[in-house]
Amino acid sequence: MIKNMVEKKEKKKKTKIKPQKKTQDSKYIESVGRRKTSSARVRLFNKGDAEIIVNGKKMEEYFPTVELRKVIEEPLKKMKSLDKFMITVKISGGGIHSQAEALRHGIARALTQFNTDFRKRLKKAGMLTRDPRMKERRKFGLKKARKSPQWSKR
């Protein structure tokens, strides 16, 4: 009786585990970029088409404006390697502009892992520093982080 229960639990555990899908057979460099509350997990492939895929969509679909695309491609243009890499990204949290800057940070980190000579130029351009500014938390007794309720003398 007890053996049957243990076997059933083991079977349940085995069915929950799913194999991970590989997007490419080639090796990749993985890094994480962050900005405010958004984080981007970046995979930089040597082989494949020179494109950026964000959350299963092409970059043009996910980031509709030209300014956001320029922010993302900035480290690749700086290192003159825009056509050399296929990049897949998973982004979560934050707004769309914050996500674009987190992606830029992740791509810059991945490029430094790919070639350590890139580090000096990317650091000078300010793409390797994580922007630590975040929204301040709300305190009790206040309406926002610092805004206090209206005060009347009488």
Q: For residues 40 and 106, is the Cβ–Cβ distance under 8 A?
A: yes
Q: Is the pLDDT of residue 115 over 60?
A: yes
Is the separation of the CB atoms in 38 and 94 below 8 Å?
yes
Specify whether the CB–CB gap between 96 and 68 falls below 8 A.
Answer: yes
3 state SS of 37: coil
- Transcribe 97-108 into DSSP letters: HHHHHHHHHHHH
CATH code of the domain covering residue 93: 3.30.230.10
Amino acid, single-letter form, for residue 18 = K
**What pTM did the predictor assign?**
0.77
| 18 vs 41: CA distance, rounded Å | 20
- Determine the residue type at 7: E
Q: Which domain holds residue 40?
A: 25-122
Q: How many CB atoms lie within 10 A of CB 51?
A: 13
pLDDT band, residue 50 (cuts 50/70/90): confident
With respect to residue 18, please indicate whether it lies within any of the assigned structural domains. no
Helix (H) or strand (E) holding 40: strand 38-45
Residue type at 103 in one-letter notation: L
**Residue 17 in domain:** no
Total domains in the chain come to: 1
What is the spatial distance between Cα 82 and Cα 10, in angstroms, rounded to a whole number?
48
In a domain, 149, yes or no: no
Q: Confidence class of residue 60 from pLDDT cuts 50, 70 and 90?
A: very high
Decide if 20 is inside a domain.
no
Stretch 87-106: mean pLDDT: 94
Mean pLDDT of the chain, nearest integer = 86
pLDDT at residue 2, rounded to an integer: 67
> Is the pLDDT assigned to residue 21 strictly greater than 60?
no
Q: State the virtual CA torsion across 77, 81, 83, 87 in degrees, nearest 10.
A: -90
Mean pLDDT of 68-95: 92
- Rounded average pLDDT over 4-20: 49
Question: What span, in angstroms and rounded, lies between the C-alpha atoms of 122 and 34?
Answer: 16
Tell me what pLDDT residue 82 has.
87
Are residues 35 and 106 in contact, defined by beta-carbon separation less than 8 angstroms?
no
